[in-house]
Structure 1
Amino acid sequence: MKVYLLGFMGAGKSYWGKQLADHWQLPYYDLDEVIVEAEEMAIADIFATKGEDYFREKESTLLRELSMQENFLISCGGGTPCFQENMDFMNQHGTTIWLNPSLETMVERLQRKKNKRPLIADLEDKDLMGFVEKKLAERLPFYQQSRHIISSDNISLDTFTENL
C-alpha cells in the first residue's frame, strides 16, 4: 500500500499519518521531517538561506526517492502537490488522500504553532484567516485531484477505512 496524505497546514496530516501508518503497519514518513534531516536545518532556515525554489526541488526529489518503496505512508507538506508535477506523480504511484477540515479548525491549530511555520510565522492572528483562505484557494486545484477527500473536523481511523 502506497499512501500520500495531503492538505493545507493544520489539516492534521502529521497526526493522522502516524496513526494510520501504525494502524496499517506501514513505514511512515513526514516529508517535511525527511527534508529537515537531509538538509540538517529547519524548514524556515532552508527558506531563508536557500530559498523556496531550492526547497521545492529537494521536496520533489525526496518524495520520488521515498516512493520507490513497496509500502509506505507519506504525510506531505501543504505545498507538495502544487509543485514539480508532484500531484500527477503521487496519483500515478499511490493513493492520495486530501484531509480537508474547516477553515476555522485549521486556523485555530495554526495559531498555536505559528512560529514553526515559515509562511505564517510573521502574521498577526487577525490576518491568519485571510491568508489561509487565499493560499488554500491557490492550492485547491491541486488538492481536488486527490483520489479520496475527507472533509470533516471529526474524523477517526474508521473514517479512513470507510472512505478507502
Structure 2
Amino acid sequence: MKIFLIGYRCTGKTTIGKMIARRLNFNFIDTDHLIEKHLGLTILEIIEKQGWGKFRQIEKQILLDTKNNINTIISTGGGIIIDRDNQQFIKKNGVCIWLYADIQTIIARLNYDNKTLSLRPALTNKDLVEETNEIVKKRIPLYKTTSHIKIDTSFNTPEEIVNIIDRRLKNVRQ
C-alpha cells in the first residue's frame, strides 16, 4: 500500500505523515525534502534561482520516482495537484488523503511556523491572507477530484487525526 497526503501548506502533511508512517510501520517520504536534497537548495532558493516551472518539473519527476514504492507515506507539496498528470498518478498509484484546514487555521499556522519566511516562497505578490484565500479556492476542486479520503485538520490534535486516518484506512483495505 502507498498513501499520498495532499493539501495546502500547513495542513499537517509532514507532521501527520511521519506519525501515520510510524503507526503503520511504513516508510515516509516528503517530496519537498527530496527536491531540496536532489538540488542541494531550499525550495525558496530553487524558486528564486530557477523559477516555478523548473521546480514543478523536478517535483513531477520526484513523484513519478515513487511508482515502485510500497508501504510508504508520501507527503506532497501543496501545489503538486496543479499538474493533471500528477493528479492521475496519485489517484491510480495509492490511496490519496486530502488534509485540509479552514483559512484562519492555515494563516495562524503559517504565521506561527518559523519555516514560512525562509522556506515557503510566496505564490503571488499579494499579502499572506489574500494569497492563501485565493490559492486555496483555486486548488479545492483539484484536491477534491484527486483524493479518496478527506480529513479536516483544523480542530483535532495530530494524534486524533492519525487515529481518524487509521480507522478510515482499515475501511479502504478491507
TM-score (norm 2): 0.86
User: Equivalent residue for 1:38?
Assistant: 38
Does the 8 A contact of 2:7 with 2:98 survive in 1? yes
1:33 counterpart SS class: helix
> Does residue 159 of the first structure (1) align with residue 160 of the second (2)?
no
Q: How do 1:15-164 residues align onto structure 2 when only pairs under 5 Å count?
A: 15-83=15-83, 85-113=85-113, 114-115=116-117, 116-119=119-122, 127-145=127-145, 146-153=147-154, 154-155=156-157, 156=160, 157-164=162-169
Q: Is the 8 A contact 1:56 1:84 kept in 2?
A: no
Q: For 1:52 and 1:121, how far apart are their aligned partners in 2?
A: 11
The code of the aligned residue for 1:147 comes to H
Percent identical among aligned pairs is 28
CA spacing shift, 1:128–1:14, aligned 2, 3 Å: same
Within 1, Cα distance between the matches of 2:17 and 2:87? 18
* Deviation at residue 82 of structure 1 after TM alignment: 1.2
Please list every run of at least 4 consecutive aligned residues from structure 1 whose deviation after the TM superposition is greater than 4 angstroms: 120-123
Contact 1:7–1:13 (CA under 8 A) maintained in structure 2: yes
Gaps of 5+ in 2: 170-174
- Alignment check: 8 A CA contact 1:98 1:148 kept: yes
Q: CA RMSD in A?
A: 1.7
Contact 1:60 1:84 in 2 (8 A): no
Given that 1:29 and 1:75 are in contact with CA atoms closer than 8 Å, whether structure 2 keeps it comes out as yes
TM-score of the superposed pair, with normalisation by structure 1 = 0.92
Indicate if the aligned counterparts of 2:20 and 2:166 stay in contact, CA closer than 8 A.
no
Deviation of the 1:121 alpha carbon: 10
Q: Is 1:21–1:73's contact at 8 Å kept on the other side of the alignment?
A: yes
SS at match of 2:98: strand
Determine if contact 2:11/2:153 at 8 Å carries over to the other structure. no
The code of the aligned residue for 1:161 comes to D
Q: How far apart, CA to CA, are the structure 2 residues paired with 1:122 and 1:112?
A: 21
Q: Which amino acid aligns with 1:149?
A: K
The Cα shift of 1:19 comes to 0.3
- Counterpart residue identity of residue 148, structure 1: I
